[in-house]
Protein backbone atom coordinates (compact mmCIF):
# COMPACT_ATOMS: atom_id res chain seq x y z
CA UNK A 1 0.00 0.00 0.00
CA UNK A 2 0.89 3.67 -0.46
CA UNK A 3 3.40 3.00 -3.22
CA UNK A 4 4.60 5.96 -5.28
CA UNK A 5 6.47 3.86 -7.81
CA UNK A 6 6.72 5.53 -11.23
CA UNK A 7 5.47 8.85 -9.78
CA UNK A 8 7.27 12.16 -10.12
CA UNK A 9 6.80 14.42 -7.09
CA UNK A 10 7.66 18.10 -6.65
CA UNK A 11 8.07 19.27 -3.04
CA UNK A 12 8.64 22.93 -2.28
CA UNK A 13 10.65 23.65 0.85
CA UNK A 14 11.64 19.99 0.71
CA UNK A 15 15.06 20.43 2.23
CA UNK A 16 14.21 20.96 5.89
CA UNK A 17 11.62 20.29 8.58
CA UNK A 18 8.31 18.87 7.38
CA UNK A 19 9.33 19.20 3.74
CA UNK A 20 12.47 17.16 4.30
CA UNK A 21 10.48 14.40 6.00
CA UNK A 22 8.06 14.35 3.05
CA UNK A 23 10.88 14.24 0.52
CA UNK A 24 12.60 11.33 2.27
CA UNK A 25 9.40 9.32 2.73
CA UNK A 26 8.19 9.86 -0.84
CA UNK A 27 11.56 8.73 -2.20
CA UNK A 28 11.45 5.68 0.07
CA UNK A 29 8.05 4.82 -1.40
CA UNK A 30 9.48 4.93 -4.91
CA UNK A 31 8.82 8.45 -6.17
CA UNK A 32 11.28 10.48 -8.20
CA UNK A 33 11.55 13.51 -5.94
CA UNK A 34 12.21 17.06 -7.08
CA UNK A 35 12.99 19.43 -4.21
CA UNK A 36 12.53 23.17 -4.74
CA UNK A 37 14.48 25.24 -2.23
CA UNK A 38 15.66 28.83 -2.04
CA UNK A 39 19.27 27.69 -2.40
CA UNK A 40 21.02 24.49 -3.45
CA UNK A 41 22.66 24.29 -0.03
CA UNK A 42 19.26 24.15 1.66
CA UNK A 43 18.48 20.84 -0.03
CA UNK A 44 21.87 19.17 0.39
CA UNK A 45 21.12 17.19 3.56
CA UNK A 46 17.83 15.80 2.25
CA UNK A 47 19.23 14.91 -1.17
CA UNK A 48 22.27 13.22 0.38
CA UNK A 49 20.10 11.05 2.64
CA UNK A 50 17.80 10.08 -0.20
CA UNK A 51 20.71 9.15 -2.48
CA UNK A 52 22.40 7.16 0.30
CA UNK A 53 19.23 5.08 0.61
CA UNK A 54 19.06 4.48 -3.12
CA UNK A 55 16.34 7.00 -3.93
CA UNK A 56 16.06 9.24 -6.97
CA UNK A 57 16.17 12.96 -6.17
CA UNK A 58 16.89 16.28 -7.87
CA UNK A 59 17.14 19.73 -6.31
CA UNK A 60 16.24 23.06 -7.88
CA UNK A 61 17.30 26.42 -6.43
CA UNK A 62 14.39 28.82 -6.82
CA UNK A 63 12.38 31.40 -4.90
CA UNK A 64 8.76 30.26 -5.03
CA UNK A 65 7.69 33.93 -4.96
CA UNK A 66 9.16 34.43 -8.45
CA UNK A 67 6.53 33.61 -11.08
CA UNK A 68 9.00 33.54 -13.95
CA UNK A 69 11.58 31.41 -12.15
CA UNK A 70 9.04 28.85 -10.93
CA UNK A 71 7.63 28.41 -14.44
CA UNK A 72 11.17 27.81 -15.71
CA UNK A 73 11.80 25.16 -13.04
CA UNK A 74 8.58 23.29 -13.84
CA UNK A 75 9.41 23.41 -17.55
CA UNK A 76 12.72 21.77 -16.71
CA UNK A 77 11.07 19.09 -14.56
CA UNK A 78 8.40 18.22 -17.14
CA UNK A 79 5.32 16.07 -16.56
CA UNK A 80 4.56 15.45 -12.88
CA UNK A 81 2.19 13.35 -10.77
CA UNK A 82 2.42 15.03 -7.34
CA UNK A 83 2.87 18.56 -6.03
CA UNK A 84 3.36 19.33 -2.34
CA UNK A 85 3.21 23.07 -1.66
CA UNK A 86 5.12 23.10 1.60
CA UNK A 87 7.40 26.16 1.36
CA UNK A 88 6.43 28.93 3.76
CA UNK A 89 7.70 31.41 6.31
CA UNK A 90 6.43 32.41 9.74
CA UNK A 91 5.59 35.79 11.23
CA UNK A 92 4.64 37.10 14.65
CA UNK A 93 2.47 40.18 15.06
CA UNK A 94 -1.02 41.66 15.35
CA UNK A 95 -2.51 43.71 12.52
CA UNK A 96 -1.28 47.01 14.00
CA UNK A 97 2.20 45.63 14.73
CA UNK A 98 2.69 44.11 11.28
CA UNK A 99 4.57 46.50 8.97
CA UNK A 100 3.48 46.60 5.34
CA UNK A 101 6.84 45.17 4.29
CA UNK A 102 6.34 42.11 6.54
CA UNK A 103 2.78 41.60 5.32
CA UNK A 104 3.93 41.74 1.69
CA UNK A 105 6.77 39.31 2.39
CA UNK A 106 4.42 36.76 3.97
CA UNK A 107 1.91 37.07 1.14
CA UNK A 108 4.61 36.76 -1.52
CA UNK A 109 5.94 33.49 -0.16
CA UNK A 110 2.96 31.85 1.56
CA UNK A 111 0.23 32.85 -0.89
CA UNK A 112 1.78 33.91 -4.18
CA UNK A 113 4.34 31.12 -3.87
CA UNK A 114 1.53 28.56 -3.73
CA UNK A 115 -0.26 30.25 -6.63
CA UNK A 116 2.93 30.28 -8.71
CA UNK A 117 3.48 26.55 -8.21
CA UNK A 118 -0.16 25.70 -8.90
CA UNK A 119 -0.11 27.84 -12.05
CA UNK A 120 3.06 26.15 -13.30
CA UNK A 121 2.01 22.64 -12.28
CA UNK A 122 -1.43 22.34 -13.87
CA UNK A 123 -0.09 21.98 -17.44
CA UNK A 124 2.39 19.38 -16.18
CA UNK A 125 -0.41 17.37 -14.57
CA UNK A 126 -2.25 17.43 -17.88
CA UNK A 127 0.76 15.80 -19.51
CA UNK A 128 0.40 12.98 -16.98
CA UNK A 129 -3.40 12.78 -17.42
CA UNK A 130 -3.98 13.82 -13.82
CA UNK A 131 -2.29 13.97 -10.44
CA UNK A 132 -2.59 15.12 -6.85
CA UNK A 133 -1.78 18.30 -4.94
CA UNK A 134 -1.25 18.73 -1.20
CA UNK A 135 -1.05 22.27 0.15
CA UNK A 136 0.37 22.93 3.61
CA UNK A 137 -2.16 25.06 5.50
CA UNK A 138 -2.23 25.40 9.31
CA UNK A 139 -4.49 25.29 12.33
CA UNK A 140 -4.02 29.09 12.14
CA UNK A 141 -6.51 28.99 9.27
CA UNK A 142 -9.08 27.37 11.58
CA UNK A 143 -8.76 29.16 14.91
CA UNK A 144 -7.61 32.49 16.27
CA UNK A 145 -3.99 32.28 17.41
CA UNK A 146 -2.51 35.30 19.21
CA UNK A 147 -0.03 37.43 17.28
CA UNK A 148 -0.31 35.54 14.00
CA UNK A 149 -2.30 37.99 11.86
CA UNK A 150 -0.34 37.82 8.60
CA UNK A 151 0.46 34.12 8.92
CA UNK A 152 -3.17 33.21 9.66
CA UNK A 153 -4.35 35.34 6.75
CA UNK A 154 -1.97 33.56 4.39
CA UNK A 155 -2.89 30.07 5.56
CA UNK A 156 -6.58 30.90 5.25
CA UNK A 157 -5.88 31.79 1.63
CA UNK A 158 -4.08 28.48 1.11
CA UNK A 159 -7.11 26.59 2.39
CA UNK A 160 -9.42 28.55 0.07
CA UNK A 161 -7.13 27.92 -2.91
CA UNK A 162 -7.28 24.22 -2.10
CA UNK A 163 -11.06 24.18 -2.40
CA UNK A 164 -11.02 26.22 -5.60
CA UNK A 165 -8.44 24.04 -7.32
CA UNK A 166 -10.18 20.84 -6.21
CA UNK A 167 -13.44 22.07 -7.73
CA UNK A 168 -11.98 23.43 -10.96
CA UNK A 169 -9.83 20.44 -11.92
CA UNK A 170 -11.65 17.35 -10.65
CA UNK A 171 -12.84 16.75 -14.20
CA UNK A 172 -9.21 16.48 -15.28
CA UNK A 173 -8.36 13.81 -12.70
CA UNK A 174 -6.48 16.28 -10.50
CA UNK A 175 -7.12 16.00 -6.77
CA UNK A 176 -6.26 18.75 -4.29
CA UNK A 177 -6.26 18.61 -0.49
CA UNK A 178 -4.55 20.47 2.33
CA UNK A 179 -2.98 19.60 5.68
CA UNK A 180 -3.27 21.82 8.76
CA UNK A 181 -0.60 21.00 11.33
CA UNK A 182 -0.46 22.36 14.85
CA UNK A 183 3.01 22.99 16.28
CA UNK A 184 5.52 20.51 14.86
CA UNK A 185 8.98 20.03 16.38
CA UNK A 186 11.41 21.17 13.70
CA UNK A 187 14.78 22.97 13.78
CA UNK A 188 12.80 26.18 13.18
CA UNK A 189 11.03 25.77 16.54
CA UNK A 190 14.33 25.20 18.35
CA UNK A 191 15.82 28.26 16.68
CA UNK A 192 12.79 30.39 17.51
CA UNK A 193 12.97 29.43 21.19
CA UNK A 194 16.71 30.00 21.39
CA UNK A 195 16.42 33.41 19.75
CA UNK A 196 13.47 34.73 21.74
CA UNK A 197 13.75 32.92 25.09
CA UNK A 198 17.45 32.59 25.88
CA UNK A 199 17.94 30.82 29.20
CA UNK A 200 14.33 29.58 29.27
CA UNK A 201 14.57 27.01 26.49
CA UNK A 202 13.38 23.99 28.51
CA UNK A 203 10.50 25.84 30.13
CA UNK A 204 9.26 27.37 26.87
CA UNK A 205 9.61 24.09 24.98
CA UNK A 206 7.45 22.39 27.59
CA UNK A 207 4.87 25.18 27.44
CA UNK A 208 4.65 25.04 23.65
CA UNK A 209 4.42 21.26 23.72
CA UNK A 210 1.50 21.32 26.15
CA UNK A 211 -0.44 23.81 24.03
CA UNK A 212 -1.53 20.70 22.12
CA UNK A 213 -4.04 18.75 24.25
CA UNK A 214 -2.21 15.52 23.46
CA UNK A 215 0.73 16.95 25.43
CA UNK A 216 3.46 17.18 22.82
CA UNK A 217 4.39 18.68 19.48
CA UNK A 218 3.91 16.76 16.28
CA UNK A 219 6.76 15.07 14.45
CA UNK A 220 7.65 15.94 10.84
CA UNK A 221 7.41 12.24 10.01
CA UNK A 222 3.78 12.17 11.19
CA UNK A 223 2.86 14.98 8.81
CA UNK A 224 4.79 13.23 6.05
CA UNK A 225 2.81 10.04 6.60
CA UNK A 226 -0.46 11.94 6.15
CA UNK A 227 0.89 13.60 2.99
CA UNK A 228 1.87 10.17 1.66
CA UNK A 229 -1.63 8.82 2.19
CA UNK A 230 -3.25 11.81 0.46
CA UNK A 231 -0.88 11.50 -2.51
CA UNK A 232 -1.32 7.75 -2.88
CA UNK A 233 -3.78 5.90 -5.07
CA UNK A 234 -5.48 4.65 -1.89
CA UNK A 235 -6.77 8.22 -1.37
CA UNK A 236 -8.21 8.41 -4.87
CA UNK A 237 -11.72 9.29 -3.62
CA UNK A 238 -10.52 12.25 -1.53
CA UNK A 239 -10.42 15.81 -2.84
CA UNK A 240 -11.30 19.28 -1.57
CA UNK A 241 -10.58 18.41 2.07
CA UNK A 242 -8.40 19.87 4.81
CA UNK A 243 -6.85 17.51 7.34
CA UNK A 244 -5.90 18.93 10.74
CA UNK A 245 -3.02 17.04 12.33
CA UNK A 246 -2.99 18.85 15.62
CA UNK A 247 -2.99 16.66 18.71
CA UNK A 248 -6.56 17.75 19.43
CA UNK A 249 -5.82 21.50 19.26
CA UNK A 250 -8.85 22.61 17.23
CA UNK A 251 -11.56 20.47 18.79
CA UNK A 252 -10.34 19.74 22.31
CA UNK A 253 -8.59 22.87 23.55
CA UNK A 254 -11.69 24.43 25.13
CA UNK A 255 -13.21 21.32 26.65
Catalytic residues: 151
Cβ pair 232, 3 in contact under 8 A = yes
Nearest to 245 by CA among 254, 233, 228: 228
Q: Whose CA is closest to 182, among 151, 160, 212, 210?
A: 212
Amino acid sequence: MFSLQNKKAVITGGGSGIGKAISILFAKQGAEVHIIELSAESAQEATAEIKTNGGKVFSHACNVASHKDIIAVFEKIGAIDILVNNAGIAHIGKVDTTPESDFDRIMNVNVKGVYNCLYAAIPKFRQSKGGVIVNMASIAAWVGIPDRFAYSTAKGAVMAMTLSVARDYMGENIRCNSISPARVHTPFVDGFIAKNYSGQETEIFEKLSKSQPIGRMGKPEEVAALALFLCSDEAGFITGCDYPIDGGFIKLNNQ
